[in-house]
Amino acid sequence: MHNVALSLIELGAVFFGLGLLGRLAWKIGISPIPLYLVGGLAFGHGGVLPLDGIEGFTELSAELGVVLLLLLLGLEYSAAELVTGLRRSWSAGLIDLVLNALPGAVVALMLGWGPIGALVMAGVTYISSSGIVAKVLGDLGRLGNRETPVILSVLVFEDLAMAVYLPILTALLAGVSFVGGLTTVGIALVTVTVVLVVALRFGRFVSALVDSPEPEVFLLRVLGAALLVAGVASQLQVSAAVGAFLLGIAISGSTAENATRLLEPLRDLFAAVFFVVFGLNTDPKAIPPVLGVAIALALVTTATKMLTGWFAAKLQGIARLGRLRAGAALVARGEFSIVIAGLAVASGAVDQGLAPLATAYVLLMAVFGPVAARVVEPMARWAWSLRQRRLAGAES
């Protein structure tokens, strides 16, 4: 069969299969990310039916998926909201960083993956999935709950931490010297600061630059600007993803809302391809040896995220049930954990066992998170009711 025809057939089968998996995921009430990863595992190296004709398209599409994921994340926040969120949640954010980055780093060191492997796994276990968290809160009707601003503040802190973490990680993975690494960190910090200042004072000019009443022109401007900024950021070793995120922050108001509406379908498409590509590059036979470690890590980091949410909500004077809901909402890991692992694996600077461990871990956490958010309240009410009955029985 002609190469082009074969590529089109394989690509069509992938897209159609993703549509079926996505529909199944929303029907059973979980994020589609685990199913996309499983689909990639099934049709990648060592899978049931390897696909060999679409590598060029999927590699570039996966990069575009990362850029769009971070761009739309930036569009969700204005610079003022980021600064306010940082002031409100810095103490909880630091607790979150220590509690949830440490387990991943310890596991990597125990497995002999060295400092770089430890830094990668620290990021994988640290950051919650903003996409899954937002979807769960919306599905459960909790967007108006008192603990929701606390959850969002923690997520904002994590996103800002990523803006510093990703350039550092990129530099280390590229083998940059100590002096070069310090330079990269300095560039990252200066860039983040400059963007926040520009967004606070001149955000309306950035928005006006990409805005247009014609949807087609508007889409081309926003997407073109995102790719240009991502490319320049990558050249400066600040990370293409961070560049896209910072551009999203700089766009505000109705322009940001319109951009989100136009770009969401593209983001969902290319992000799905990104997760599939990560699965395609992971040998499913490598997962069983690390599954026990992944389960242990999932259990530990579920508990640490619960503690994070409890502490953050307690600082705001929220009652116990709200604290439990906040903790459970933060449990899910997903897209950004895979982004971090993908950057590390693509660089070749980490142990090859990291990809299957990250895959297994995200598969578990992307399922644990929505389930925990749904069951924590009824379980807490049941436990409270049982305790009340026992106390009443003891008194009688």
Picking from 350, 364, 282, 362, the residue whose alpha carbon sits closest to that of residue 108 is: 350
At 269-299, the pLDDT tens digits run 887 887 787 777 777 888 899 999 999 999 9
- pLDDT band per the 50, 70, 90 thresholds, residue 99: very high
| Band of residue 200 on the pLDDT scale cut at 50, 70, 90 | low
Does the pLDDT of residue 105 top 90, yes or no? yes
Nearest Cα neighbor of 17 from 49, 60, 45, 52 is 49
Which pLDDT value is given to residue 295? 95
Average of per-residue pLDDT values in the chain? 81
pLDDT confidence bin for 328, thresholds 50/70/90: very high
Residue 51 in contact with residue 280, Cβ under 8 Å? yes
Q: Is the dihedral of CA 35, 36, 37, 43 positive or negative?
A: positive
What pLDDT does 310 receive? 92
Residue 275 sits at the vertex; the CA angle it makes with 272 and 281, to the nearest 5 degrees, is 140
Q: At what angle do helices 240-250 and 215-235 cross, to 10 degrees?
A: 130
- Phi-psi bin for 212: left (phi > 0), alpha (psi -120 to 50), beta? beta
Higher pLDDT, 354 or 381: 354
Q: How far is the C-alpha of 219 from the C-alpha of 211, rounded, in Å? A: 9
Under the banding of pLDDT at 50, 70 and 90, the label for residue 52 is low
pLDDT digits (tens, 9 = 90+) for 291-316: 999 999 999 999 999 999 999 999 88
| pLDDT tens for each residue of 333-348 | 887 888 888 888 877 8
Altogether, the residues listed in the chain come to a count of 396
pTM as predicted: 0.75
Q: Which of 48-52, 54-58, 134-138 has the lowest mean pLDDT?
A: 48-52
Q: What is the pLDDT of residues 9-43, one digit of tens each?
A: 877 888 888 888 888 887 877 778 788 887 877 77
Band of residue 357 on the pLDDT scale cut at 50, 70, 90 = very high
d(CA 234, CA 371): 37
Please choose, from the candidates 31, 47, 79, the residue with its C-alpha nearest in 3D space to the C-alpha of residue 249. 79
- Residues of the chain with pLDDT > 70, as a percent, come to 84
Mapping DSSP onto H, E and C, the string for the chain reads: CCHHHHHHHHHHHHHHHHHHHHHHHHHHCCCCHHHHHHHHHHHCCCCCCCCCCCHHHHHHHHHHHHHHHHHHHHHCCCHHHHHHHHHHHHHHHHHHHHHHHHHHHHHHHHCCCHHHHHHHHHHHHHCCCHHHHHHHHHHCCCCCCCCHHHHHHHHHHHHHHHHHHHHHHHHHHCCCCHHHHHHHHHHHHHHHHHHHHHHHHHHHHHHHHHCCCCHHHHHHHHHHHHHHHHHHHHHCCCCHHHHHHHHHHHCCHHHHHHHHHHHHHHHHHHHHHHHHHHHHCCCHHHCHHHHHHHHHHHHHHHHHHHHHHHHHHHHCCCCHHHHHHHHHHCCCCCHHHHHHHHHHHHHCCCCCCHHHHHHHHHHHHHHHHHHHHHHHHHHHHHHHHHHHHHHHHHHC
One-letter amino acid at 88 equals R
As a whole number of Å, the end-to-end CA separation of the chain is 82
185 has pLDDT over 90: no
Exposure of 356 in the CB half-sphere (CA atoms within 13 A): 17
Q: Which residue has the higher pLDDT, 50 or 1?
A: 50
- Rounded mean pLDDT, 259-278: 83
Residue 374 pLDDT: 84
Let me know: does 349 contact 173? Beta carbons within 8 Å.
Answer: yes
Q: Give the dihedral of Cα atoms 290, 294, 296, 299; nearest 10 deg.
A: -170
Question: In the predicted model, is pLDDT for residue 186 greater than 70?
Answer: yes
pLDDT at 136 over 80: no
Domains identified in the chain and CATH numbers:
65-382 (1.20.1530.20)
Mean pLDDT calculated for residue range 213-236:
85
Mean pLDDT of all residues in 156-176: 77
Q: Which residues contact 267 (CB under 8 A, 6 or more apart)?
A: 65, 68, 69, 71, 72
